[in-house]
Each structure stands twice: as structure tokens, then as C-alpha cells.
Amino acid sequence: MLKKLVCFGLLIAASQFSAQTIERQVIGSAGTTLTNGTISLDFTVGELAVSTITDGTTTLTQGFHQGTVALAIRVDPVVFLQGALLNNGGGNLMRDDLRASLLPTTSPYSDGLTCAASVFNNGGTSGAGATSDNIVDWVLVELRDANDNEVIEASQSALLQRDGNVVGVDGISPLEFNIPSKSYYVAVRHRNHLGIITANTIALSSGSAVVDFTDVNNQITFGTDAQTTFGLPSGVVAMWAGDANQDGRINYLGALSDTPSIRSQVFNDPNNSVFGGPPIATYQSSGYVATDLNLDGLTIFSGSNTDVLIVRDNIFNNPSNSVFGGPPTGTFTFTQQLPEGAGGTN
């Protein structure tokens, strides 16, 4: 942004017979004309910052200063949510069941960003885009300090497409952050999947940088078993599903179990009643809630496709769940691999 008031220093070299001088003047943003009666100069804010003009006798040096221009840096994360890939019919596209009627236009994260409802159209705003770019859910992207990966320099709500691309609230553009171009750790959070962060810093600038968390043969995440391949198409890894109580952990049978949250969602649903009777365990509770672990729009406690099985399976199939090489246990607690000082909680 150019300063509204700019001071130009004008120096007129002495001629053979007499000196010609224009005193310092303040130039407004609309520009002006300066004259000493012999020489006239027209200025507008926006001319070259430094310039020297001479006719062989008289020499003019002009210039002005402007504030630092900060260009937005861009980042293109690519992530998969395990829940949306489970039972997706094959291929590497996540299901987008929430998009049709349950996905909110206001982000569930603290910045409260909003998008137009048309962004959730099949095929995007125009309806003519690729359905692989349909929106699956909101995520939160963090850029963390290169010298301390617990320090969050900036964060922003974003939208996740079926093909794993994380985009801005218009549903198509790369994410932009108005912070300096340099290297950052890149982290991604989701409301019921365990968060992830890059093991190394990524150089970010005004040119988009792709940060692909999904390639099983080139895993870039920090920590141990930070992502999973369980139940997924070959060749990909995804963020662990199962954090129904949103504490940054997955637990099946222990004190931190996610199962009670799923049960509570079902039994406390005001619509869960048959002819005015007590609630039933097999009721399917509809809504945009954290207990819907496979993102199909339903929380199921008991019966087929129960969300409890996602928690159980992810605990028993977690490679970290082993005591001295023995069998996995149902009480094992797995914490998201995000450096946060206090132990990985949100």
C-alpha cells in the first residue's frame, strides 16, 4: 500500500550561470504539478520509486518510499479422512454424504468462516464442475513456527474436497495466509479424526505449495503411526477416525472411551422414541455431529454400520497397540501425533 502522503526531494544542479531549485514539497495521493517558474514537473503517486532525469544542464533526482508490500502465501494440503473413505465403493474418492443437507455454511472451528450454500452444490457453485471436487467437510489448517512446532503462527478453516484437496471457502481456490514467506510446519485438524502435522518444514510463498499427506509410499507426517491404512484403498493413508468425544484421542474400553459419546447421542436424540416409549439402542440419529465417525450423516450405536465398530477396529488394528510385542488390548489409548506440550489434546 503506497503511503498517502509522499515527500519528494528535488535537487536541481547549478547551471553555468545560475542555480535553479525547487524546494521540498508534499505530494498528495492525487498527484500535483511543481514549478519554479522555469521548470514544471508533474507527479502522481505510483511513479517509479527512484528516477534521475537530465537534459545535460539540469539534473533532477526524484523518489519516494512506500511501506512493505506483503504478498499472501499459498498452500495446497491434500488429506484423506478415513471415515469418509470406508465403504466408499472403491477408488480414492471420499464420500460426500454430508454435503447434500447437513454440512453447515459456517465453519465449526473458532474462526467461524462462512461459505455460500452454492459451494455445496453437486459439481460446485456452477454445478458444472467435477464431482471429484465436491465438498466432504470442513477442516482446520495450521501453519506452525519453523523453530517450534507447538507454536501456531496462523490457522484457517478450509473445505475438503472428495479427492483430498483442501481449498478456500469458495470451494476451489488454494488457501492464502497473510503472513511472511518462509518455512512452516503444516498441520491439519478435523472434528472427529486425529490431527496430523508435517515431520519437516515446508517453504511457503506466493506460489502454491502442494503438501500431500495421502501417499503411503511417501509419508510426510510427524510422529508414530500418525495416519492409517486400515480399511482403505491400496496406496493411500488417511487421518484416523474415531475421536467421537473430541479429546484428541481414540479409546475403546478405557476411561477415555469414545463409545459413551456415541451412545449418548443416540439415546438423547429427542426423536428417538417409538410411540412415545423409551429410546432404543438401534435408532439412527441424524445430524452434523462428531459422533458420526464415517461421515454418512448418521450416528449409530447398536446394529449394522455402528460407529462403535470404527473405534474398536481402529484400536485393535493400530500398530502402536502392543505391549512387549503381545496382542492388542481394548483399553489402549491412541493420541493424535500433534506436538502440543500438554499431550495432544485439542
Contact status, residue 204 vs residue 160, Cβ threshold 8 Å: no
Per-residue pLDDT, 98: 98
Q: Is the pLDDT of residue 344 over 50?
A: no
Q: Is the pLDDT of residue 67 over 80?
A: no
Q: What is the 8-class DSSP label of residue 121?
A: S
Phi-psi region for residue 31, left (φ > 0), alpha (ψ -120 to 50) or beta? left
d(CA 27, CA 42): 10
Residue 278, CB half-sphere, CA atoms under 13 Å: how many?
2
Whole-structure pTM value:
0.79
Report phi then psi at 98, rounded to 5: -70, -30
Q: Is the pLDDT of residue 68 over 50?
A: no
The whole-chain average pLDDT of the chain stands at: 86
In residues, how long is the chain? Answer: 346
Report, as an integer, the average pLDDT of 156-182.
97
Q: Is the pLDDT of residue 117 over 80?
A: yes
Contacts of 205 (CB under 8 A, 6+ apart): 71, 73, 74, 181
d(CA 91, CA 93): 6
Q: Is the pLDDT of residue 196 over 80?
A: yes
d(CA 293, CA 83): 6
pLDDT band at 293; cut points 50, 70, 90:
very high
Of residues 89 and 303, the one with the higher pLDDT is 303
